[in-house]
Structure 1
Amino acid sequence: MNSPLAATLARDTGESLTDQIVRSVAVRIDERELRSGSRMPSIRRFAEHHGVSPFTVVAAYDKLVARGYLESRRGAGFFIRDRAPVRPTAATVVPEPANGALDVSWLVRNMFRQMPHRQMPGTGVLPGEWLDGASVTNALRAIGRLDSQFLLNYGTPQGYLPLREQLQRKLAELEIGAAPEQFVTTAGVTQALDIVAREFTRPGDTILVDDPAWFLMFGSFAALGARVIGVPRLPDGPDLARLAELAALHKPRLYVINSVLHNPSSTSLSAAKAFQVLRLAAEHGFTIIEDDIYSDLHPGSAVQPATRLAALDQLQRVVYLSGFSKTMAANLRVGFIAASPDLARRLADRKMLQTLTTSDIGERIVHKILSEGAYRKHAERMRARLDGLRARTVRQMERVGLAVDVAPPAGMFVWADAGTDTNVLAERAMGEGILLAPGSLFSPSQLPSTFMRLNVAAMQDPAIWRFLQKNL
């Protein structure tokens, strides 16, 4: 066989010799210059011919095997593999919703498309450039320099102990008392909700949720066989009369609530209503799941009113959930549950049955960022940036025809009334490459709605405003 390289190896570039070999061989295979089934030169022969070490050739051949270009035949060497024609990936095409109706899966699929963030006012995260990528990178590098044994083993079922100790200090600032053994780390709040729901409910049980509320949990709870019933959410918390009525009628096992920076309205629970919610929970025997994922986007109760049920109840009837996907990095998938000691042990056992443990690497990264002190200033910068946009963005919303009944003083979301069916509006917007989040998806009833959730951090593209002005 002639040399499988298409070019001479260069030693004065930033590209390693291994990667040069991989790139050149792959190009020749893709262009059919090297035939399927042909044997590659032996490692020793290749190394001598190109003046590189055998270790470099071994590394290159291994990469080519991993990428599907070569196959290794024991005792015979390396051979060029038959490569199937490349087909377009499913991610490039988003199917139309069945029967013309948008659903939660439609929104989630489109949120994970490779769209420019500036064209996704319906997304639930901040733009990547708002987050502190340098801190995550530095923490990852520092952890990579530690003893590699922890990278190869499982974590601990309740989570990395130094992180749980750091979470104890974090919750103490919110006036929630919790020892390290009262925490269970999770793969984000999504897994936390699933673990708690599985612990408390059986098929046929009722779970109450705010209406509107975070859409993903509706399907998750329904998949467990639970009945999901909405409690109307008002600017200062749930409609208490309706909550009492539904609790008496359905005997729910759980009630899920955002006390602070409710998704999708960014409103917060008042102190007066918080006491009444706890009273109803005691009277009707249901447990409260308090989802506080947006905690670090709130400036604190000294600046704006913020009442957390877990602070009033001290984790007796309240299970507290939070995480760092919204403010640190969604890809770390580090969340946590805080509960009474006995319940925390049971939840850790249930977590083991699902996933054994969560990623020790991600938990160590979060711990390092939290413990070094820079995260507090990062959160302050995010809040200040949102504050600088929010009022101006709301005024512009109203100019193009959106009605905002309650302009939130904090957070990233605005719950706006478009005066038209936002399912239709969202389909039309997607045709122009813009992702909106229609209000129907935020209700367990999934009925048509004129409301939609808008992310003020993702509303800066003029194309969004032109679309809204033209279609409202």
Structure 2
Amino acid sequence: MTFPQGATMPKPANLGNSPMVSRESGGSLVEQIVRSVACRIDDKLLRTGSRMPSIRQFADEQKVSRFTVVEAYDRLVANGYLESRRGSGFFVRERASLLNNLSPVAQPLPTSQQPDVVWLIRNMFRQLPPNKMPGSGLLPHEWLDGELVANGLRAVSRLNQNLLLHYGTQQGFLPLRQQLQLKLAEIEIAAAPEQIVTTNGVTQALDLVASEFVQPGDTIFVDDPAWFLMFGTFATLGAKVIGIPRLHDGPDVAKLAELAALHKPKLYIIHSVLHNPTSSSLSASKAFQVLKTAELHDFMIVEDDVYCDMHPGSAVQPATRLGALDQLNRVIYLGGFSKTLAANLRVGFIATSPQNAIRFADRKMLSTLTTNEICERVVHKILSEGHYRKHVDRIRSKLDSARHDVTSRLERMGMSVEYRTPAGMFLWVDTGIDTLPLTEKALENGILIAPGSLFSPHQLPSTRMRINVAAMSDETVWKFLETELK
């Protein structure tokens, strides 16, 4: 190709060094390339007007056929990400201008990509290899048991088809709720099936509880640090979110009492066991003080126990649950299976008083009618046949090994692991530098990390970050951290 004299050759697009395709991911190679390039363009990592690699060059670099690249480029052109110039190649297109030309009310894409809660969630759904996402909250696919889920699906598919064609029941599939009654009894929480409401994961459970109890202007307490998704959910309700400092054995109870007297919260959301992001657990003495404060200042406690099955049990390590001490009087208990079975198997539940269960079931019906009974039947099949226990035993064993190795290596690099927890999938580490710019640079290298600022309701700069020990097997992640933290 030649350019007129004096013309400037467009700069080639910088695609980075990370591979765009994985033959183990399950998706077609064409789809993986399209998603990877589109994400880079959406995130402004590829500049408008830059020239894409030739079909031959792209195929050689990604170790795919030229036919695969041709089809991927054609799809990107069809969706407005690239434009084809005869005799010149493919170039990154200005999508905002294209959309504005198609619709006079369309708005340009935002140029700011500073990490926030939505940013992290969006990038968790990108087609990055799982072992390059130490900031994610999921276990790698190879740690899970796809065959266990597939067998459950096959068993459900053999049922009378009429059972699969109607709505589910308002409170959820009864045999599953009966199975959950047995599961809760093992951790000393007495809950009849009538006290259990199934949900579309713990996220919906939290939304139902907050929507039922909180009005605009009310105060909700959360741990600080805490699971970041709550902040955005509660903000949409017009609630004021206040963080309670989290210590190695639970919240700072003195601060909890002080702030409760001042703000009169409606709810306190807490992870008693394997807190996200520190993996710390609540001590018995702290649990009693939390309940005493809740009774004194008349607020409800929402106990999120989604990591329940990653804990080996009180016979091995102490594990105090507020729901067991309170027996669902002032405590609303939440659980789910997306962390241990499959992220796409969105089955969670609320265990609460009989009166609250009716209220939550009514609110669930008004928002989504019923939950997915097919998925609930699959989870019931897995739980009732006894295979689940062995499955989570294997997960805990792998986490124990990975946690030890990752902790040792991080500390050799100079990072401080603040909570030396004996269980769980997360480490809360101090890097010594602001992790927000570190996060932005990591994404440029095809790596997703979770900066500490996202885990606080204040969203202030932080030197901390959450590490998923199960997602630290790729040496490029370690090399990136070693380079940036010198």
**TM-score normalized by the length of structure 1:** 0.80
What residue in structure 2 maps to residue 431 of structure 1?
444
Match of 1:36 in 2: none
In the alignment, the residues of structure 2 paired with residue 167 and residue 174 of structure 1 have an alpha-carbon distance, to the nearest angstrom, of: 11
Does the Cα contact within 8 Å between 1:176 and 1:310 map onto a contact in 2?
yes
Determine whether 1:87 maps to 2:100. Answer: no
Q: Report if the CA contact (8 A) 2:114-2:440 is conserved.
A: no
1:282 aligns with 2:292: no
Match of 1:103 in 2: 116
What is the rounded CA distance, in whole Å, between the counterparts of 2:464 and 2:448 in structure 1? 15
Matched, 1:253 2:266: yes
2:179 counterpart residue number: 166
Q: 1:325 — aligned with what?
A: 338
Aligned partner of 1:359 in structure 2 is: 372
Corresponding position of 1:396: 409
Give 5+ residue unaligned stretches, structure 1: 1-82
Q: Is the 8 A contact 1:202 1:224 kept in 2?
A: yes
Given that residues 235 and 406 in structure 1 are in contact (C-alpha distance below 8 angstroms), is that contact kept between their aligned partners in structure 2? yes
Give secondary structure in 2 for the equivalent of 1:233. strand
Cα deviation per residue 1:28-79 (whole Å; 9 max; x = unaligned)?
Answer: xxxxxxxxxxxxxxxxxxxxxxxxxxxxxxxxxxxxxxxxxxxxxxxxxxxx
Q: Does 1:152 align with 2:165?
A: yes
1:40-439 equivalences under 5 Å are 86-87=78-79, 99=112, 101-439=114-452
Partner of 2:89: none
**Aligned-pair CA distance for 1:89:** 7.5
Contact 1:401 1:469 survives alignment (8 Å): no
TM-score, structure 2 length as denominator? 0.78
**Residue type matched to 1:266 in 2?**
S
- Residues 124 and 378 (structure 1), Cα distance of their counterparts in 2 relative to 1, 3 Å cut: same
The alpha-carbon deviation at position 86 of structure 1 amounts to: 2.3
Q: AA paired with 2:181?
A: Q
Q: 1:429 to 1:145 in 2, by over 3 A?
A: same
1:330 alignment partner, SS class: coil
Return the letter of the residue paired with 2:395: M
Q: Secondary structure at the match of 1:241?
A: helix
Match of 1:7 in 2: none
1:187 alignment partner AA: N
Letter in 1 for 2:78: V
Aligned position for 2:68: none
Structure 2 residue 477 is matched with structure 1 residue 464: yes
Q: Deviations over 1:271-290 (max 9, x none)?
A: 00000000000000000000
Report the aligned-residue RMSD.
1.8
Q: Per-residue deviation at 1:400?
A: 1.6
**Partner residue of 1:68?**
none
Shift of 1:392: 1.3
Contact between 2:113 and 2:119, CA under 8 Å: does it hold in 1? Answer: no
- Are residues 341 and 462 of structure 1, via their aligned partners in 2, closer, same or farther at CA, if it must alter by over 3 Å? same
Counterpart of 1:34? none
| Aligned-residue offset at 1:391 | 1.1
Offset from partner CA, 1:294-315 (integer Å, 9 cap, x none): 0000000110110000000000
* Residue 96 of structure 1, CA deviation: 9.8
Displacement of 1:99 in angstroms is 4.8
- Residues of 2 paired with 1:395 and 1:389: CA distance? 10
How far residue 129 of structure 1 moved from its aligned partner, in angstroms, is 1.1
Q: Which amino acid aligns with 1:406?
A: Y
User: Contact between 2:435 and 2:464, CA under 8 Å: does it hold in 1?
Assistant: yes
SS of residue paired to 2:138 = coil
What amino acid maps onto 2:386 in structure 1?
Answer: G
Paired residue type of 1:121: P
- Is 1:97–1:106's contact at 8 Å kept on the other side of the alignment? no
Q: Aligned letter for 1:177?
A: A
Distance, in Å, in 2 between the alignment partners of 1:272 and 1:139 is 41
C-alpha change, 1:309 and 1:96, in structure 2 (3 Å) is: farther
What does 1:19-58 correspond to in 2, within 5 Å? none
User: Counterpart of 1:316 in 2: which secondary structure?
Assistant: coil
Residues in 2 aligned to 1:167 and 1:432: alpha-carbon distance in whole angstroms = 43
- Mark the CA change 1:321 to 1:98 in structure 2 (over 3 Å): closer, same or farther: farther
CA 1:469 to 1:262, structure 2 compared with 1: closer, same or farther past 3 Å?
same
CA deviations over 1:97-154 (Å, ceiling 9, x no partner): 8656310011001100011001100010100111111111011011101111122110
Q: Deviations over 1:378-411 (max 9, x none)?
A: 0000000111111111010011221112221000
CA distance in 2, matches of 1:89, 1:244: 54
Residues 160-199 of structure 1 show CA distances to partners (whole Å, capped at 9, x for unaligned) of: 0000000000000000000000000000000000000011
Tell me whether 1:452 sits opposite 2:465 in the alignment: yes
State the alpha-carbon separation in 1 of the partners of residues 401 and 479 from structure 2.
22
Amino acid at match of 1:273: K
Give the aligned residue type for 1:288: I
Distance apart, 1:85 and its partner CA: 6.7
With over 3 angstroms needed to count, the CA separation of the structure-2 counterparts of 1:97 and 1:446, relative to structure 1, is farther
Equivalent position SS for 1:126: coil
Seen in structure 2, the aligned counterparts of structure 1 residues 98 and 282 have a Cα distance that, compared at 3 Å, is farther
Q: Which residue of 2 aligns with 1:10?
A: none
In 1, are the aligned partners of 2:279 and 2:419 still within 8 Å (CA)? no
